[in-house]
Structure 1
Amino acid sequence: MRHPKPHQLVLRAATGASILNSGLDKRGADEDTAMGLHGTAVGTYPFLDRVDPVTFARLLSAGEIALGTALLLPLVPNRLAGAGLTAFAAGLLGMYLRTPGMHRPRSLAPTPDGVPLSKDLWLLGAGLSLVLEDCRKD
């Protein structure tokens, strides 16, 4: 197993702390918050309509806590942590691309409302960087 290099640790700490914090903030979400999170997700991924909003919020919180923790723990290989981050970011970018009003017509450029979601492209880049760099032969 390769140990993360200093620049990888910085990337993992920045993304991991942010995602962990987001998951902790969602822990114990009230019903209104759960319904809001669920409604946003269902608008992009209709199959999630079959999941109860409170259960969805709990699962989202647990997933973010697990991913954030994996990124923060150097014992978790870069390839595994990066794959998790890539998958998570891809789901968030799906929301950006599929939600009306998030980007300009016939463009990927964000509208003012879309800026918070468009930044998830950085998470995708971070995840792919961890995976691809770990695949390199030194």
Structure 2
Amino acid sequence: MSTLSERLWQWPLRATAGVYIVDSGLNKWGADGEAAKQLHSWASATYPFLNKLDPQQFAKLLSAGEVMLGGMLLTPFVPAGVAGLGLLGFGAGLLGLYFKTPGMRRPGTPFPTQEGIPLAKDAWLVGMGAALVLGGSDGPGATGAA
């Protein structure tokens, strides 16, 4: 079992992403009809299987998922690797929106247009998730010994 000081490296990543994601989820919980339709339309354009959901149902599920993920990141007893996998998957899903939405990237490059910057920043969530997964609970450069 690692000591607290060996695990401190992960808390700036977990707190930054966790607080932001919880806030985002809470703000979506009471989404009105128009906001829910917009969220649903955007997500289902990239992920067509989401068309099966009602926009309000989608907004509630997205909200609950974000609050759960943010809570996992902010809960000390949830292992870094587990929280990191959740963050990695969530960030990858958001990057799917970035890569598949027309006009978000400069032609022929992975780099964002001005309009794409808000989605491109989700690459940071992927990086943070990967760091948590790779570092596990023992931290960067750990030997893996318990």
Identical-pair percentage: 51
Q: What's the counterpart of residue 75 of structure 1?
A: 77
Cα distance in 2 for residues equivalent to 1:74 and 1:16: 12
Q: Which 4+ residue blocks in structure 1 deviate beyond 4 angstroms?
A: 1-4
Q: What's the counterpart of residue 100 of structure 1?
A: 102
What amino acid is the match of 2:43? A
Q: Which sections of structure 2, spanning at least 5 residues, go unmatched?
A: none
Cα distance in 1 for residues equivalent to 2:136 and 2:81: 6
Q: Which sections of structure 1, spanning at least 5 residues, go unmatched?
A: none
Deviation track 1:22-64 (CA, whole Å, cap 9, x = no partner) reads: 0011011111110000001011111111111000000000000
Alignment of 1:29-40 (within 5 A): 29-40=31-42
More helix, by proportion = 1
**TM-score where L is the length of structure 2:** 0.90
Cα distance in 1 for residues equivalent to 2:72 and 2:49: 27
How many residues align? The count is 138
CA root-mean-square deviation: 1.4
**TM-score where L is the length of structure 1:** 0.95
Alignment of 1:23-62 (within 5 A): 23-62=25-64
User: Aligned-pair distance for 1:100?
Assistant: 0.3
Tell me, yes or no, if structure 1 residue 5 matches structure 2 residue 13.
no
Cα distance in 2 for residues equivalent to 1:50 and 1:11: 34
Name the larger-Rg structure. 2
